[in-house]
Amino acid sequence: MLSNQIKTKSSLPHSLYRAQQIQDFEGQAAELAGTTLYSLMKRAGQACWQVFKQRFADAQRVLVLAGKGNNGGDGYIFAAAARNAGLDVQLCQIGKPDDLTGDAARAGKAWSIAQGTIDGIEQADFEGADVIVDALLGTGLQGPVRAEYQRLIYKINQSGKAVLSVDIPSGLNADSGAVSDVAVKADATVSFVGLKQGLFSGCAPEHCGQIYFSGLGITKEFESLCESTVSRVLYDDFSALLVKRSRISHKGFFGRTLVLGGNIGMPGAVRLAGEAALRSGSGLVKVLTRAENQSAVTAGRPELMVEAFYLDKMNDSSIRDWATNLVIGPGLGKDEWAENLFDFVLASDLAAVIDADGLNLLASKAAWKDSWILTPHPGEAARLLGCSITKVENDRFTAVRSLQRSFGGIVILKGAGTLICDGKQTYVANVGNPGMASGGMGDVLSGIIGGLLAQGVDPLHAAVLAVMIHGSAADLAAGRDERGLLASDLFPYIRKLVNP
């Protein structure tokens, strides 16, 4: 049964695709599976109906807004299923029905033969509908949304009605998750054949609602033809790396993390990063900071070792020799002291996490290392790439790949739908919440990565797992109360998550 193919939440596929990949291979996949593209359209419409029944069981009146392409054709199939089930269905076509071509025209003709009425968009009864079905613009959208669609999308969003989007919310870019003008804010979205990467990053969390998926019966064939280089990740995918400790363990088994930063007036950043490394399981953590900050850091967390860094220690190899891995950037600043501390890290071959002002200093240097993990937010990413924040956010997938090509190592582009890229694969982590928009959250993430590196987790897995622990801890800490969440609120939950 088709309903058995509907997936959502943790059951969604991991592999993500670009819209062009779907377009290039769905026809071949259908042929391999012994079916046609029109049959896929009928399955897509039926899949939407299955989700509609599950999500909006009490709805009696539905307004279907159909576009001129195959997305509109899916809407026609849905409308027929809903009317056959006894619902009051109004179907409104943008443009003229005679303008439909191909399989969409075939679906429109089938609706008309069954005495289905096609109204114009100006007749759409937004007020009378219980649910609006958005079948306007599919995954092929590139560039600005035309004015006639913009006006309609504004009406949908201002209606206050529940919305089900077909394949993707109209106006949302399927590849980047960007919105150039306006996009539908859906309560639920049903995606087909392959999940589009743009559903999981950028503006997508604001527009997609709950995401459902149907492979339309050609999943095996499609995946055999089309390789994915972008994947969703879950905490459970990597938690097995956190193996149970031997009963004869001691602190020497679990590495020594050196946290560098904390310029004058900023002891809290290194204290947060240092404690995060400890809470993540690093055997020992030492903070290298300004002499003025030593007592403040120690008082805040006495388990941290704290040492002052002076400019004449630039070539002191004993400090580097102590550590198994480095974290630099929290509270670092950009003065001469910070520059010397950063050069101290550049001279090391140890695995290093670069955050905050460490990234801002990196932007002025032509440096490449396979051994580091960079953790920029969009502003830091823009400085590293020499572009605007808007350009970064308009295509986060391209930005993270560009950062990795330019600086090497592993790059974590923080934000809604955090991306982790090693140059071969890009991972998308859909964890965290708006409560994380507060000072110190990035310092905690850096410390978690450092703690995992200290325990021997390889850099890529340390980066992905740390992002999942960090975001999941924030979700647990926030509950329903996101506003006012503090970075230090995460620590009890980090400890639980590193002990699965």
Cα distance between residue 488 and residue 471, in whole Å: 13
∠ CA 60-182-79 to the nearest 5 degrees?
25
Cα distance between residue 72 and residue 330, in whole Å: 51
The CA distances from residue 380 to 85, 346, 357, 366, 425, in Å, are 53, 19, 9, 16, 22
Buried b (16+ CB within 10 A) or exposed e, 203-236: bbbebbbebbbbbbbbbebbbeebebbbbbbebe
Write down the pLDDT at residue 280: 98
Q: Could you tell me which of 243, 284, 451, 427 has the C-alpha nearest to residue 351?
A: 451
Tell me the DSSP string of 112-156: HHTT--EEEGGG--TTT-SEEEEES--TT--SPPPHHHHHHHHHH
Write down the pLDDT at residue 1: 35
Q: Which fold has domain 236-497?
A: UDP-N-acetylmuramoyl-L-alanine:D-glutamate ligase (3.40.1190)
Average pLDDT, integer, range 294-315: 89
Q: What are phi and psi of 241, to 5 degrees?
A: -70, -20
pLDDT band at 140 (very low <50, low <70, confident <90, very high): confident
Average pLDDT, integer, range 331-345: 94
Average pLDDT, integer, range 122-137: 97
Average pLDDT, integer, range 325-336: 97
Strand 284-289 to 162-166 pairing: unpaired
Average pLDDT, integer, range 116-144: 93
Predicted confidence (pLDDT) per residue in 363-394, tens digit? 998 899 999 999 999 999 999 999 999 999 99
pLDDT at 267 over 70: yes
pLDDT at 321 over 90: no
- How far the first Cα of the chain sits from its last, in Å, is 36
Spans of all domains in the chain: 2-228, 236-497
∠ CA 459-461-466 to the nearest 5 degrees?
95
Average pLDDT, integer, range 151-175: 97
Strand 418-421 to 188-192 pairing: unpaired
Write down the pLDDT at residue 5: 72
pLDDT band at 314 (very low <50, low <70, confident <90, very high): low
Q: What is the pTM of this model?
A: 0.95
CATH number at 2-228: 3.40.50.10260
pLDDT band at 2 (very low <50, low <70, confident <90, very high): very low
